A and B are shown apart, each in its own frame.
Chain A
Amino acid sequence: MTPVTFNDTFGWLHTPRGGVGRVAVLICPSLMQDALVSHVSLRLLADKLAEAGYWALRFDYPGTGDSVAEGDVEPPEGHWKAWQKSINTTADWLRATTGASEIAFCGIRIGATLATLAAAERQDVVGIIQIAPVIRGNSYVRQLLVQSQLQTGQPLPAGEDLVFYEFRLSPRTLDEMRTVDLRKVQFTGARKVAIYPRAESKLVDDCLRIWSGAGVQVTRGAWQNLEPLMRQLVIEEDTLADWSDVIDWLQKAAPYDGTVKAVTPAPTPLMLRGNGFVETPMRFGRRGRIFGVLCQPAQGRPDLAVITTNSGRDPHYGSCRQSVTFSRQLAKVGIATLRMDFAGLGDSLGPTGREHLLTPMFESDRLPDIKGAIDALERLGYRRFAAQGLCAGAYHSLQAALSEPRITALLLVNIPLFTLPGQVVMNYLTYRGSTLAHYVQRLFSIDGLRKLVSGRVDLRNILRGQIAQAKVRTAAKVQDVASKVGMADRLTPAHRMMAELSARGVRTLFLFSEGQSEIDAFAQEFGSQGEGLASYPGAEMRVIQHMDHDMSHAPGRKIGQALMVDFVASRET
């Protein structure tokens, strides 16, 4: 797979192996959470298509992923029309670049909707693969509005823009999305469509009936092997979608034709320029298996680079594109950023033999990846390095700084633990939040007992989480007593870490959103206001109102990012 840039857009071109067919497949991703969760499975799809003889291109719509445009600024034509237009221009680019004579579209969720609308207007589309398509735009907009309402506590007032995730969607854009109904799409020319619905739906039945009646060859595929495309909240090693059925369908709908002469795509400048920044895709690490996007100031040559890491399993651009907006803010104050993917996440390949698995969120050694990033940046002339991460990304950034002396600053958002808990991490994180007394009190209420008897309270996992917490507290107390009688080092592991970093001159900023579970591990060590950090020069912490765990709520995210920019930039002025 080869990174490509075109039309202010970033993409990945997957070149067929062993011959070149006449068909190129344009993969149209979804938006927001759907896009984050399905990112790696779509990379696998593109690989499988290339193995089967098809060109495959993954790309970002304007205002999404690594594209130049901003999501919270609507283009003159509105986001919806801009996204549709980008599919057409990208399909044209794909054909011109590869020499393919026909295009197949594969879209997921709202990406399937956009792909179908674009395909209906083109004469060169040989087939459409719809993965869990959004059939009615009105219900999709309702989904966004309800989620926003639950996040803000307020319904969206009529006539106002919807600010949600990385987007600002105007009433006009929302209205344009609402009017979409795939059942009404009229395909020009003969069409072949494969639809893979996630659940039974009368809307899907309608599509099959209406499109078949219009002469379209419609196939309903099975969902079973595609579930990883939508699977959230998994932090252990996990499988990706199995695309065998989809590839089989495409091979029947648009058979591989190996007689077409191979075309070598013309090289394109691998660079995107925006307001105050220049971005370049980078591959580094062992055999170039790790990927990142280097964002540099448009002017000047900084020697400081911030490395942003994956938050959970989100790709390098981050939930709500937070790593993109953060790196472009840093560029404006003269600081470079490498937003990278750890091995087996985003666009970085996993370990040999496990390339097609998602690597565990916490229980993976990310140090080689971060060292590889620093080595690559050093070769480009950078001399000072900071690491930034959210949740699991914060945990790995901290661990890396302890082993990597070239890291001189840390930006840690909602770090959930300092050391692994010695049990399933998800259970620990889920059930550590409250004290055991709190659970006991709840259990001995009438309702609590009813829940316990009916199995609605997971007592086993609560106890496991509490035992792990108790071990941490007990260990801290034992260590404290032992140190007082001269039998042990006075410091807990978390304090030892901070002492070491502080002694090395590493500056550390801890940011937390409000809520006990967010700050629990930190508060046990350093107090809920960070008063225990006073012993460690260069370390500070802030609790940010209106910031949620993954910084998906725009007001809190903007405050958190501004604090991080100030913290890193304060040494630059």
Chain B
Amino acid sequence: MSVRQTVLDQVAIVAEQQRKTIPPLTDDMPLVGSGLDSLCIALIVANLEDELGVDPFGLAGEVAMPETLGDFVTFYEKAAA
């Protein structure tokens, strides 16, 4: 499975688990403010680390949180490359 698909799957899984209503997943969807709260995003990041075996935050040191879903996908694609 591609990195992109893994990221999108985790966003959908966590949103469903946390009973959050989110819009259709598009690259311009803001990560914060589209229905996902901070716990959801933290869980997505934790799950992605387990599923992809990469920790892009750890690789880069102190990094800012990507703002959109597209940036978030790219963030993981670069880390996994």
Q: Which residues does A use to contact B, with CB under 8 Å?
A: 33, 135-136, 138-140, 142-147, 149-151, 155-158, 198-199, 201-203, 230-234, 451, 454, 456, 458
Contacts and interface: CB of A to CB of B under 8 A. Distances in A.
Interface string B21-46: 10110000000100000110111011
Interface string B1-31: 0000000000001000111010110000000
A147 B42 contact: yes
A142 B41 contact: no
B65 A149 contact: yes
Contacts of B17: 198-199, 230
A147 B49 contact: no
Contacts of B63: 155
Nearest to B52: A202
Nearest to A149: B65
11 contacts: A136-B49, A138-B55, A142-B55, A144-B42, A145-B57, A151-B38, A155-B62, A158-B62, A198-B17, A199-B13, A456-B23
Contacts of B61: 158
A139 B47 contact: yes
A386 B62 CA distance: 46
B57 A142 contact: yes
B42 A138 contact: no
Given A146-B57, A155-B63, 16 more contacts: A138-B55, A138-B58, A140-B46, A142-B55, A143-B43, A145-B57, A147-B42, A151-B38, A155-B62, A156-B62, A199-B13, A199-B47, A201-B47, A202-B51, A232-B19, A233-B18
Nearest to A144: B42
A150 B38 contact: yes
A448 to B, nearest CB: 12
A231 B64 CA distance: 29
A146 B65 CA distance: 8
A138 B21 CA distance: 29
Contacts of B19: 231-234
A233 B35 CA distance: 13
Given A138-B55, A139-B47, A155 B39 contact: no
A139 B46 contact: yes
Closest 9 CB pairs of A and B: A143-B46, A150-B38, A147-B42, A155-B62, A456-B23, A146-B42, A139-B49, A139-B46, A143-B42
